[in-house]
Amino acid sequence: MRATVPFILLLASAPVARAAETTTPASTSVPADSIIETLKVQREEIKAPKHESLRFLKDHRVFVRSQLDRLRTQVTREHTNGVQILDARYLKLQELSAAIAAAQDTIGGEQARAAQQSLLSSVTELGKLEASLDLMDSLLVDERARLLWLEKDFVGHQETALVIVIRGLTGQGLPTGIAIAEDNEVTHVTLSDADRASLARGGIAQIFHEFVEPRTHALQVKLEGGAWDTRPASVVTLDAPRDRLTFLELDLSSALTALSSFNTRVWYR
């Protein structure tokens, strides 16, 4: 009996459907603003489970959740592929920063000399002044070249990230790895034999390149392996500006001394 009802409805609706199909071309000419849209609210059907499952959890959800709320999780990442290939541009940026600082000093000095010489009126003195102006021009050309290089490098690379490079451990007993911790996240970087050999020859290794939040970061850096396990972690604080790449260089040579902190250098892109 129940099965016959949809069947009858189906039969009854068939002519209507056919009529709708035949009138479709006419309806396309109806203006869009004449369409009446209606909204009907219906209650969602809750499908009862066939068999009850996880009954204890559901019955004691408040207790279980209260126990879980008291936990905090710490995520540990293992970088098993060792250090990464260092992008040469990162070091180039450091060189550019130094060149800019030197050029600024030179321009400052020349400006001071020009101010003094402006009072001189002899032709000889004017010749010297012209030479100084030529020097400043050449510095400006260099500056323009650096800016062009930076502009080219910046296109499409607006991101807040942190790159950590290490150097300065050349002796025996190199660590097997480095742990970098902040808040509840720890990143372990394992140094391969090739990495350690590179460091021993005075090389630089990139150990970290991740997106970070644009804020002040306090990183706990700990060398691992052998005697290094007994050395306490060193805290390195740095600011990571928004949409910029922050570089942190850790000079680990101070780890061999009694100093509890590392010598660091920070630069930005």
Partner 1 sequence: MSTFTHVQGLAPDIPLGLPSVGRNRSLVRRHPHVRSWLVAAAICFTWCGATRAGDNPSPPFSARAGLDAAVNAAHAWATDAQLVYLENDEVVGPDGNAGRWGYLFYSENRGRARGYSIRDGKLDEASDLDFELDAPPVSTTWIDSNAALAAAEKKAGAEYCLANNGRLATMLLIRGAFHERTPDATTWAVVYTSPTAPALFVVVDAAKGEVVRMWRG
Q: Where along the sequence are the contacts to partner 1 (CB under 8 A)?
A: 49-57, 61, 64-65, 67-71, 73
Q: How many helices (H) and strands (E) does the chain have?
A: 7, 9
Shortest reach from residue 51's CB to partner 1, in Å: 5
- The contacts of residue 192 (CB under 8 Å, 6+ apart) are 82, 83
Shortest reach from residue 2's CB to partner 1, in Å: 15
Could you tell me if 196 and 85 are in contact, meaning their C-beta atoms sit under 8 angstroms apart? no
Give the residue with the Cβ less far from partner 1, 50 or 201: 50
Shortest reach from residue 85's CB to partner 1, in Å: 29
Give the residue with the Cβ less far from partner 1, 71 or 123: 71
Shortest reach from residue 50's CB to partner 1, in Å: 6
Could you tell me if 160 and 211 are in contact, meaning their C-beta atoms sit under 8 angstroms apart? yes
Give the residue with the Cβ less far from partner 1, 61 or 113: 61
Give the residue with the Cβ less far from partner 1, 50 or 152: 50
**Distance in angstroms (rounded) separating the CA atoms of residues 152 and 2:** 74
Burial of 161 (0-12, 13-18, 19+ CB in 10 A): middle
Give the residue with the Cβ less far from partner 1, 55 or 152: 55
Separation of CA 146 from chain center: 24
**Distance in angstroms (rounded) separating the CA atoms of residues 54 and 51:** 10
Shortest reach from residue 78's CB to partner 1, in Å: 15
